Structures are given as structure tokens and as C-alpha cells.
């Protein structure tokens, strides 16, 4: 909120009359949903009436439940594995399979692949 003397004619948002040059006025920056700030200009006396009436109106709406609660959307992607232990186990088994495959331990690779398949089937 900012007080100023009008340098040109403007329209009061409450009483819809003209604010003449040199009159005291109040401007507030109202944030719109698209995060753009819209200046609202009032006579100093009109601002008090407007603020009280808008406060009371919003309070009554809140009491009656007319104003819907804002539900935030979940952000980001969903987890690939439901638990951290399962994710650690899968990554560890994949790295062990890679290691034993390079080392030439085929019996160990088949054993680890069976454990990995069992772990992935749990999800």
C-alpha cells in the first residue's frame, strides 16, 4: 500500500468517482492468479470502507465454507520403487550382475537374476 497525491485523473475502485489532480489517494498492488500485480487506486476514505467490507465478506465466505480450499498438485515424477530399501536392493543386484557377468561367473549371474526378478515382482 502506498499513499500519494494524484498527478492525473484516475478512477477510484470503490466509489467509481474520479480522483482529481492533487487529491490524496492510496494504491495497493493486487496479485492476480497469473502472478501479475494489478494496481488498485482508492480515495483514502474509500480504501478503509473497501478494506473492511472485503475483509468481512471473505471472512463470512470462509465461515460458510463457500471458498474452496486450494489443493496443490503433486509435482515431479512418481517413484520407480515404493521403498528406498527396494531401490537400493535393485541397484545393488544390477551392479553385482554386471560385475559377475564380466568376471565370467555365469552360475552366480543366474542366481542374482533370479533374486532380482523376485524383488521386481514384489512391486
Q: Which long-range contacts (CB under 8 A, 24 or more apart) does 92-96 make?
A: 93/119
Domain regions of the chain by residue span: 2-64, 84-122
Structure confidence by residue, pLDDT tens digits, 43-92: 999 999 999 999 998 888 888 876 667 777 788 887 777 777 777 788 89
Determine contact, residues 16/40, Cβ cutoff 8 Å. no
SS3 assignment, position 93: helix
How far, in whole angstroms, is CA 82 from its chain's centroid? 24
**CATH of the domain spanning 2-64:** 3.30.1740.10
Give the per-residue pLDDT at 67: 64
Torsion 48-49-52-54 (CA) sign: negative
Higher pLDDT, 84 or 117: 117
The 3-state DSSP class for residue 115 equals helix
Which residue, chain included where needed, has cell 514384489?
122
Amino acid at each position: 500500500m502506498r499513499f500519494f497525491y494524484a498527478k492525473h485523473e484516475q478512477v477510484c475502485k470503490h466509489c467509481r468517482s474520479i480522483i482529481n489532480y492533487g487529491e490524496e489517494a492510496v494504491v495497493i498492488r493486487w496479485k492476480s492468479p497469473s502472478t501479475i500485480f494489478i494496481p488498485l487506486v482508492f480515495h483514502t476514505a474509500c480504501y478503509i470502507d473497501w478494506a473492511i467490507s472485503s475483509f468481512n465478506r471473505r471472512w463470512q465466505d470462509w465461515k460458510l465454507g463457500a471458498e474452496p480450499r486450494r489443493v496443490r498438485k503433486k509435482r515431479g515424477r512418481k517413484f520407480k520403487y515404493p521403498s528406498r530399501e527396494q531401490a537400493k536392493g535393485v541397484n545393488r543386484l544390477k551392479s553385482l550382475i554386471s560385475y559377475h557377468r564380466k568376471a565370467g561367473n555365469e552360475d552366480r549371474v543366474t542366481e542374482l537374476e533370479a533374486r532380482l526378478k523376485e524383488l521386481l515382482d514384489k512391486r
